[in-house]
Chains A and B, each alone.
Chain A
């Protein structure tokens, strides 16, 4: 399983765009990139998943460069409720019978 590296913490203000970058230098050809969000005392919540280029859904965008050695989760116009831990995971393929290895995650703190 490819190892991931993320910033331990980030601070932002309401209304700003937040970009969290994850490094995964030894990502394998079949690996997908998945991001989860976790609030205290809750299970992680799936945010977005991608393999290459750009993926967008109703809550976030995921940017993956051509070499796939990193990825960036973009949260547009964050609010206080986006304060949480964000995990970047790399696995082949997503879900199913394949294990996920959680790294340390990024603690995002959004203030007024």
Chain B
């Protein structure tokens, strides 16, 4: 159980292109989804937190107009990197968690999306 699917797993595109990444919770309803970015040899950095049906909360230093997050349903959140540039190249990872059995459940992560901007 608690499977989170992320798509695509890998994308290469030209500078200036917008890229959409999907994150789905396959066997549970995710009340909250998180988006992280990870650069090589570094730890995960939280970008934003999104709750179904409401606007995402962005971490300090993350441009909300650059990284558009939509969490339209309890099983799907999307991250769109708008007008991507080479410095946006990174490993993007989503996670999802739910409220079950009277308590918050641990976050479960997707397998990430490797984004390379040429």
Write the residues of chain A forming the contact surface with B, with a CB cutoff of 8 angstroms: 34, 36, 41-46, 49, 87, 93-105
A96 to B105 CA separation, bound complex (whole angstroms): 6
| A95 and B105 form a contact (CB under 8 A) | yes
Tell me whether B82 is interfacial, beta carbon within 8 Å.
no
Q: A93-B103, A104-B43 are in contact. List 8 more A-B contacts (CB 8 A).
A: A45-B109, A46-B106, A46-B109, A94-B104, A94-B106, A95-B107, A96-B32, A97-B31
Interface residue tally on B, bucketed by range: 20 to 34
Tell whether B71 is near chain A: CB-to-CB under 8 Å: no
Q: Which residues of B contact A (CB under 8 A)?
A: 2, 4, 6, 31-32, 34, 36, 43-46, 49, 51, 91, 93-95, 97-99, 103-112, 114
List, in ascending order, chain B residues with CB within 8 A of A43's CB: 4, 6, 93-95, 109-112
A95 cross-chain contacts in B, Cβ below 8 A:
97-98, 104-107
**Is the beta-carbon distance between A99 and B34 smaller than 8 angstroms?**
yes
A36, A45, A93: the one within 8 Å of B104 (CB)? A93
- B21 CB, nearest partner CB in chain A, Å: 12
Given contacts A96-B104, A96-B105, contact A42 B112 (CB under 8 A): yes
- Of all chain A residues, the one with the shortest Cβ separation from B99 is A96
Query: How far in angstroms is the closest Cβ of chain A from B48?
Result: 10
